Structure 1
Amino acid sequence: MSADTRREELGVSDLGKVDESAFSGLAERHRRELHVHCYRMLGSFQDAEDTVQETFLRAWRRRETFEGRSTFRAWLYRIATNACLDLLAKRRPEPATGGEVRWLQPYPDPLLDELAADVADEPEAVAIARETVELAYLIAVQHLAPRPRAVLILRDVVGWPAKDVAEFLGDSVNSVNSALQRARAGVREHLPAERQDWTGGEEDTGTRELVRRYTDASLATDIDGLAALLRDDVRCSMPPTPGLYVGRDAVVNDWVESGFEDMLHLRAVPTAVNRQPAVAFYMWRKPEGAYLPLTIDVLRITGGAITEIVTFHDDQFPRLGLPERLPADDTE
Structure 2
Amino acid sequence: MAEDSVAVAAVRAGDESAFTALTERYRRELQVHCYRMLGSLEESEDLVQETFLRAWRGREGFEGRSTFRGWLYRIATNACLDVLDQRPRRVLPYEVAPVAGTGTAPFEPADHPWLEPYPDHLLPNVTSDEDAPDAVVVAKETIELAFLAAIQHLPPRQRAVLILRDVLGWTAGDTAATLELTVAAVKSALQRARSTLRKHLPRQRSQWGPVTDPSAAERALLQRYMDAHQRRDTHVLAGLLREDVRVSFPPLPFWVEGSQAFITGSTEFAAAGEYRYLATRSNLQPAVAVYLRRPQDSEFRALALEVLRVEEGKITEIVDFSSPAVLEAFGLPATLVTRDPGDSFSILSPSQPTMTRSRKRS
TM-score interval for Structure 1 and Structure 2 normalised by the shorter chain: 0.7 to 0.9
Matched, 1:18 2:14: yes
Matched, 1:296 2:287: no
Q: Does the 8 Å contact 2:144/2:283 carry over to 1?
A: yes
In the alignment, which of 186, 189, 194 is matched to residue 184 of structure 1? 194
Residue 245 of structure 2: aligned partner? 234
In the alignment, which of 332, 351, 355 is matched to residue 322 of structure 1? 332
Identify which range, 263-272 or 74-83, moves more after superposition. Answer: 263-272
Residue 90 of structure 1: aligned partner? 86
In the alignment, which of 45, 54, 59 is matched to residue 58 of structure 1? 54
Q: CA deviation at 1:140?
A: 1.0
Kindly report the root-mean-square deviation, in angstroms, between the aligned alpha carbons of the 2 structures: 2.7
Matched, 1:47 2:56: no
Structure 1: distance between partners of 2:49 and 2:208: 37
Letter of the structure 1 residue corresponding to residue 238 of structure 2: A
Listed one character per residue, the Cα deviations across residues 244-264 of structure 1 (whole Å, up to 9, x for unaligned) are 33333443454355x12x543
Partner SS, residue 122 of structure 2: helix
Q: Does the 8 Å contact 2:7/2:22 carry over to 1?
A: no
Relative to the length of structure 2, the TM-score reads: 0.80
Identify which range, 308-317 or 205-214, moves more after superposition. Answer: 205-214
In the alignment, which of 256, 259, 270 is matched to residue 245 of structure 1? 256
In the alignment, which of 17, 25, 30 is matched to residue 34 of structure 1? 30
Q: Does the 8 Å contact 1:39/1:47 carry over to 2?
A: yes
Q: CA deviation at 1:216?
A: 1.4
Listed one character per residue, the Cα deviations across residues 211-264 of structure 1 (whole Å, up to 9, x for unaligned) are 22211121233445423322122111122322333333443454355x12x543
Structure 1: distance between partners of 2:307 and 2:21: 35
Partner SS, residue 299 of structure 1: strand
Residue 203 of structure 1: aligned partner? 214
Q: Does the 8 Å contact 1:95/1:146 carry over to 2?
A: no
Q: CA deviation at 1:102?
A: 5.0
Structure 1: distance between partners of 2:179 and 2:141: 25
Structure 2: distance between partners of 1:24 and 1:325: 36
Identity of aligned residues (%): 50
Residue 173 of structure 2: aligned partner? 163
Structure 2: distance between partners of 1:231 and 1:135: 18
Q: Does the 8 Å contact 2:140/2:209 carry over to 1?
A: no
Matched, 1:134 2:150: no
Structure 1: distance between partners of 2:212 and 2:282: 11
Partner SS, residue 228 of structure 1: helix
Q: Does the 8 Å contact 1:199/1:300 carry over to 2?
A: no
Matched, 1:74 2:70: yes
Partner SS, residue 41 of structure 1: helix
Structure 1: distance between partners of 2:235 and 2:144: 28
Q: CA deviation at 1:292?
A: 1.3
Letter of the structure 2 residue corresponding to residue 324 of structure 1: A
Listed one character per residue, the Cα deviations across residues 130-166 of structure 1 (whole Å, up to 9, x for unaligned) are 2211111111111111110000001111111000111
Structure 1: distance between partners of 2:90 and 2:296: 43
Letter of the structure 1 residue corresponding to residue 26 of structure 2: H
Q: CA deviation at 1:10?
A: 8.4
Q: Does the 8 Å contact 2:38/2:90 carry over to 1?
A: no
Identify which range, 196-205 or 301-310, moves more after superposition. Answer: 196-205
Moved over 4 A (4+): 13-16, 94-102, 196-200, 285-288
Structure 1: distance between partners of 2:16 and 2:33: 24
In the alignment, which of 207, 228, 237 is matched to residue 217 of structure 1? 228
Q: CA deviation at 1:174?
A: 0.7
Which structure shows the bigger proportion of residues in helix conformation? 1
Q: Does the 8 Å contact 2:142/2:148 carry over to 1?
A: yes
Task: State how many pairs are aligned.
Answer: 322
Listed one character per residue, the Cα deviations across residues 286-320 of structure 1 (whole Å, up to 9, x for unaligned) are 65521111111111111121101011221111110
Structure 2 unpaired stretches of 5+: 97-111, 343-362
Q: Does the 8 Å contact 1:221/1:263 carry over to 2?
A: no
